[in-house]
Chain A
Amino acid sequence: MPNDGSGFLPRILAIARNAFREAVRDRILYNLIVFVLLITVSAIFLGELTAGQESRVIVNLGLSATLIFGAFISIFVGVSLVWKEIEKKTVYSIFSKAVGRGEFIVGKYLGLCATLGVNLTVMALGVTLALLYVGGSGLIGGVWAAALLIFFELTIITGVAIMFSSFSTPALSALLTFFVFLIGHFSASLLDLASTVGSNSAVAFFTVVYYLLPNLSLFSFITETANGMLPPGSMIAGAAAYAVCYDIVLLTITVLIFSRRNFK
């Protein structure tokens, strides 16, 4: 007989490991890593064109590419993560076993976060190598701190993607997640917008949207890193706490929706 099954953690970790394995065996991920490495290499040549600014260009381009490619992975792998399991009916063999739907969602989410973590590490390593090549080692600490902030941001994007995919098609989920990503980076402007419009209802609307959507500008530190600044510890801790809270809310909503689904 199997053990008493009281611990949900081994099941979540098993699902996470499998999600990670799936992503690793997906060649698209390999291509993205190679692509980012290529961008980093091209940044070096761009740096040569902008005399004396090589390190800044490499940090700007490298971290921006890291964010964009990370967001692409979060959105496109995130929206298909659960959907694919339903479409391919692999969930049949999972849920007939003693696996809770919540455990499944959390496991899949953690698996993708682990994939993103590995991707980000490879990307940051690429930027680091490029900086070492051009003698900009003073910026390396900032690059890793900024990459950590990007990782926190991507955990939220992944959570949003999985939440939308729990009740919508992958295409629509990807579109909606992309909007959240876009608006999330400019959410501070929503409050400014609210203050400039006259009507009370518009103010209320923009304020609600501001508080509802994630404030992704909390994780932005690319330009500052390129200028040789390091994010303060309080900023990193605050961003981590914000991401964890937001992720918990997103996963709770996803689990609530997913728990009511019938698999035809």
Chain B
Amino acid sequence: MEYAVEINNLSKEYETGFLRKKRVRALDDLTLNVRPEQIFGFLGGNGAGKTTTIKTLMRLQFPTAGSARILGSDISDVKMHRRIGYCPENPYFYDYLTAREVMSYFGELFGYDRATTQRKTEELLTAVGLDEKDWKKQLRKYSKGMLQRVGLAQSLINDPEVVFLDEPMSGLDPVGRREIRELIAGLREKGVTVFMSTHILSDIEALCDEVAILRGGKLTASGNLSELLSASEGVRSLEINVEGVAADAIRDEIDFIAGAEIMAKPNGATIQVADEADIDAVLQITRKAGGHLASVHPVKQSLEDLFVRTS
């Protein structure tokens, strides 16, 4: 099996309005492949179609056109869903149940016996960092972060081969985010494919092997994260930090250098140039004005830049 998830020309339209019905295209001809045993980042602004895609894969919605396969089986194959896990955005559970009861219920749905469910419940609730004293509390007393942890734990109860996480870091504090990031990285080590949508770009940069960026339901970029970032070498620039001189004192001369930009900073200035050959010219201008070089470093395109440009 070459791909863990294959999405082919997937489209989803909704009808809105009561009398004047209008069709809104939430997903437009999306084609995407996810290789097994990697963490795949699914990015996009609000309303880009990320959750619609995941819901369609989870057979919560039916596609208007196109098809998708997970682990080689069509998404409509109920049996295939025994091999995958899903943590929805803002997990919704039965608030009259305790975390233990939720896990037991889902364990029963997978046909586990009581002892197995209990063992898995304890392992997973510990792994997601949920305090043992909270296991017997009804979920209506849980904070958003605690619910998120239960959501993650239940998505792993069947030892899934592919797990879909919709905004898994939502509601977590920095310590919690770090713990869950380590948990997700650990899943990859165990050979699990993780399909993760998130707004938190630093998590994507820290975790993901490949990414896809959606905009208005359409795919705008996809591929290996480092390749995508280095593919924009043309926009790469150099940042020169100088000290002992005010930005205004050298601005006129810097403006003569093609593509150069200057920004004031305390006790100096930051100059961005597009070409390495321009460093000498900047240094000459700085020294002439009584300043000196503090540092020079290349400015790599960040995921944020890529995200802003493509979404």
Q: A residues engaging B (CB < 8 A)? A: 1-3, 5, 7, 10-11, 14-15, 17-18, 21-22, 25-26, 88-100, 260, 262-264
Q: A2 contacts which chain B residues (CB < 8 A)?
A: 82, 110-112, 158
- Contact (Cβ within 8 A) B110 A92: no
- Contact (Cβ within 8 A) B58 A96: yes
CA distance A95 to B56 in the complex (A): 11
Query: Counting CB contacts under 8 A, is B154 at the interface?
Result: yes
- Contact (Cβ within 8 A) B79 A93: no
Stretch at the interface among B30-38, B89-97, B177-185, B256-264: B89-97
A89 to B, closest residue via Cβ: B92
Query: Counting CB contacts under 8 A, is B168 at the interface?
Result: no
- Contact (Cβ within 8 A) B109 A262: no
Q: B106 contacts which chain A residues (CB < 8 A)?
A: 93, 97
Q: 10 closest A-B pairs (Cβ-Cβ)?
A: A96-B86, A14-B108, A2-B110, A89-B92, A96-B58, A3-B111, A98-B82, A98-B81, A263-B60, A262-B61
CA distance A1 to B94 in the complex (A): 25
- Contact (Cβ within 8 A) A10 B60: no
Q: A99 contacts which chain B residues (CB < 8 A)?
A: 78, 81, 109
The 11 sampled A-B contact pairs (Cβ below 8 Å) are: A14-B105, A18-B105, A21-B96, A22-B96, A92-B58, A93-B106, A96-B59, A96-B84, A97-B82, A264-B14, A264-B61
- Contact (Cβ within 8 A) B111 A93: no
Q: B91 contacts which chain A residues (CB < 8 A)?
A: 93
Q: Interface range on chain B: under 10, 10 to 19, 20 to 34, or 35 or more?
A: 35 or more
Q: B49 contacts which chain A residues (CB < 8 A)?
A: none
B85 to A, closest residue via Cβ: A96
Q: A5 contacts which chain B residues (CB < 8 A)?
A: 79, 82, 110-111
Q: A97 contacts which chain B residues (CB < 8 A)?
A: 81-82, 86, 106, 109-110, 158
Query: Counting CB contacts under 8 A, is B62 at the interface?
Result: yes
B87 to A, closest residue via Cβ: A93
- Contact (Cβ within 8 A) B58 A95: yes
CA distance A262 to B88 in the complex (A): 16
Q: A98 contacts which chain B residues (CB < 8 A)?
A: 78-82, 109-110
CA distance A24 to B108 in the complex (A): 20
Q: A262 contacts which chain B residues (CB < 8 A)?
A: 60-62
B80 to A, closest residue via Cβ: A98
Minimum Cβ distance to chain A for residue B160 (Å): 10
Query: Counting CB contacts under 8 A, is B132 at the interface?
Result: no
CA distance A91 to B91 in the complex (A): 11
A13 to B, closest residue via Cβ: B108
Minimum Cβ distance to chain B for residue A100 (Å): 5
CA distance A98 to B97 in the complex (A): 21
Minimum Cβ distance to chain A for residue B163 (Å): 10
CA distance A98 to B298 in the complex (A): 50
Q: B95 contacts which chain A residues (CB < 8 A)?
A: 88
Q: A93 contacts which chain B residues (CB < 8 A)?
A: 86, 88, 91-93, 106, 151, 154
Q: Which of B47-81 contact A (CB under 8 A)?
A: 55, 58-62, 78-81
Q: B92 contacts which chain A residues (CB < 8 A)?
A: 88-90, 92-93
- Contact (Cβ within 8 A) B94 A91: no
Query: Counting CB contacts under 8 A, is B189 at the interface?
Result: no
Across the interface, A95 reaches (CB within 8 A) one of B60, B93, B110, namely: B60
Q: B94 contacts which chain A residues (CB < 8 A)?
A: 18, 22, 90
CA distance A88 to B82 in the complex (A): 23
A92 to B, closest residue via Cβ: B88
- Contact (Cβ within 8 A) B81 A96: yes
CA distance A65 to B113 in the complex (A): 41
